[in-house]
């Protein structure tokens, strides 16, 4: 796992990158959030490829549970990737609604993610 810290507008934003899955369940996500909070950040960029595919199957409940943890622990999360290949209107709607708020976003590039998280 590689962590790059970006400083923008007085915020520290952690960009996480790894070769494989980093978040396979809610407990792993929560541990990552807590580890990063000890390093002074509550804003996280993670790549789609580092999250289990079950996250993108809304009926699994994983996406909702993970985003609820973000709300509970005041974590702002940006997931970077290409989400067009996932089927289902429900997921598209979920992504659209998430992108309207400030807590979590599904974004195309790290630059866009950092811009969103630095506001």
CATH code, 102 = 3.30.750
Residue 8 C-beta-side C-alpha neighbours within 13 Å: 17
With both helix axes pointing from N to C terminus, report the angle between 62-72 and 26-38 in degrees, rounded to the nearest 10. 30
* Number of domains, the chain: 1
pLDDT values of the chain reduced to their tens digit, one per residue, 119 residues: 999 999 999 999 999 999 999 999 999 999 999 999 999 999 999 999 999 999 999 999 999 999 999 999 999 999 999 999 998 999 999 999 999 999 999 999 999 999 999 99
Strands (E), the chain: 2-8, 11-17, 43-47, 76-80, 104-107
Are the C-beta atoms of residues 41 and 12 closer than 8 Å to each other? yes
Are the C-beta atoms of residues 13 and 39 closer than 8 Å to each other? no
Provide the pLDDT for residue 13. 98
The structure's pTM equals: 0.96
Show the domain range for 56: 2-117
Provide the pLDDT for residue 38. 95
């Amino acid at each position: 796992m590689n962590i790059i810290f970006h400083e923008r507008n007085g915020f520290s934003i952690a960009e996480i990158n790894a070769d494989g899955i980093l978040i396979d369940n809610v407990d792993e996500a929560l541990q990552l959030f807590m580890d990063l909070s000890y390093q002074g950040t509550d804003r996280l960029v993670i790549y789609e490829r580092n999250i289990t595919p079950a996250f993108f199957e809304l009926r699994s409940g994983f996406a909702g549970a993970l985003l609820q943890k973000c709300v509970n622990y005041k974590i702002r999360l940006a997931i970077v990737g290409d989400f067009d290949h996932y089927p289902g209107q429900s997921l598209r709607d979920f992504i659209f609604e998430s992108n309207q708020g400030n807590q979590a976003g599904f974004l195309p590039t790290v630059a866009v993610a950092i811009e969103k998280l630095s506001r």
